[in-house]
Structure 1
């Protein structure tokens, strides 16, 4: 029923297109009563299915074959391979949604799974087993899993957590209500500030009307507060109630992210040098990357700016704020600004941007080669490999191969200093063009 409904809605509205698969190998869902110990999974056996269930599964697998250009069916060998392929694609995030009946509950772990929808009566370790499919913590972005129940399992959840944890474990295992995180709550004699309080403190203590946050103690307080807001917004984003209740506008939030990035850039050298002020500062770089804009969004705004004959100064401010808020685009700010200054003269923004980047990239690399007397072909090869690897390798033969010949009588210190300068310039070049560079 679920699979059929999803297909109906996707056929009706192409914007709802999802990559959906289903897999089961025994009795239909409605025949399974309240279960504690889930039946042992048998990923190969479809013999217990009645004719209509098997025919339906056969057609669902045909849909899967069309989606991924595979050749599976419900016969024993091919169904086993279908199970393995579905498992792999789930782990690789090639499927958006998988509908199962008593499957993928044991021997399967994908940390990227974020939501489990439950339409089955569960209890005890059967419940814990099922819920555990989505509770794997992945990084600072995925700090919890979402469970959406279509049945009233509150008592069963409390009983299972008490048995497998302790009687007070529910407060640790389960998230609180939206209003608790949004407005704050008291627990064990301590007040835990909510999102509203955090935003009020941010706007009063660090108003955007002040152009800069000065003083290391103020900067440290701002980083700590804004980091807490980023974590809270990440948590609240799992609640539908948060949409439309963000309090702060998108543009103002980008302004604050820009300030956060400015402080990060200024304090990073001190963190590396282990100076006291930044010793215990933690920058939520993963959360920033999750919500930051990309170059496609910027080019869309540039297109609008061009259509307005480059007269919409408010739009220009929006573009610059968006760039400042992004850790990835900040290093490309000069490149983007220079391109915008020429956009009134181009016909197509996207193709002109690509040509502009290609030309500037060659000029910048040639300049580095000339200034540091590097070997051109070796430098070009090194940069090509760096973009392929996603990083500038500071050790190994790669960097040495492009260095200019230096007298051995000048002392090893001069060569080491020269190498350090070259690496810094190539890192700047790499950061400037990473993610937008054409193949060299």
Structure 2
């Protein structure tokens, strides 16, 4: 009989985006890691950038949790495995606590993980308590640990906030604004961890703030039940296949679970850089999303790798491209300033960065081999004569979502797929 496991755990949420959740979770992870504890961190919902920072802070790979995209069963398996290997589990929510379907609150309640809500208290007094009361009482069945005040001006401000708290709602602490611990951001979210030269210094500064606060103690243990079913190994549909994965500053939006699945299905993975390499040799190519618009001139100027990718496609070998990877395969790409760069040219048309968000949300798509789940998040628009072979379906309202294109051996879409949601469909994307 498989027994339940217990491990201290906390779900960190907020009333909205931009409250400082990632900095707080990273600070907690780094603080407890500095104390010699094994920390496992998770991010709810679709995200690539926050997990890079969280993983760096904890010293272990951050993973995704989501009741729909990842699924309840696999999310339970991840948490159960973490409870057996860690001294602390931290989960960062997405957007606001009750935003989305399913929401972070749904996930926390499903697994019984207490919720601590971080509230930006800048410019706020007793209204902080009213907001805390609403979040705590909005869903009575939610395990609510309390609230944390962020960006507090000083000791008097912290006292005012604590004094205005309603009875029965714990005030877990007040955190000051610490500029040297701030994480920089850009149009798709945080700057990638590998691009922040002083990231470890920032994380250590944030961890010191935690060490000097009431948040330094471990949260209470949480009981994690074993999965109801044993995970089934995926079929070896990619045995003997060599897949080249683009990974550099321009292409890095990859769920680690995607690569784990490809390996589990027998593929040999090799990395290459469209920015720096001159050739790619493989049975298939995976071009994930990223920031090609920030590297137009280097991508345009690397004619050798573009010719190698063209030769790969001309030989009939598959290329699977997501979002930024798809933009790279177009004839041209324009950045926000209207600067144009010539791209690979395997797909007709041009991409253009727009001043605001163009696509956002969870989606599924019916592909040969099964229905895959994933998400859309992009600031660019595509102008192309291509006709999609199929279209995603939005989770929020069931309406048509992102188009999916097939042109010869190229398969491309704005969708970022979570590969474990449909292993056989994924194998078909990279298969002969």
- TM class by shorter chain equals under 0.3
Q: TM-score, normalised by structure 1?
A: 0.23
**Structure that is richer in strand per residue:** 2
Structure whose CA Rg is larger:
1
**Structure that is richer in helix per residue:** 1
Q: TM-score, normalised by structure 2?
A: 0.24
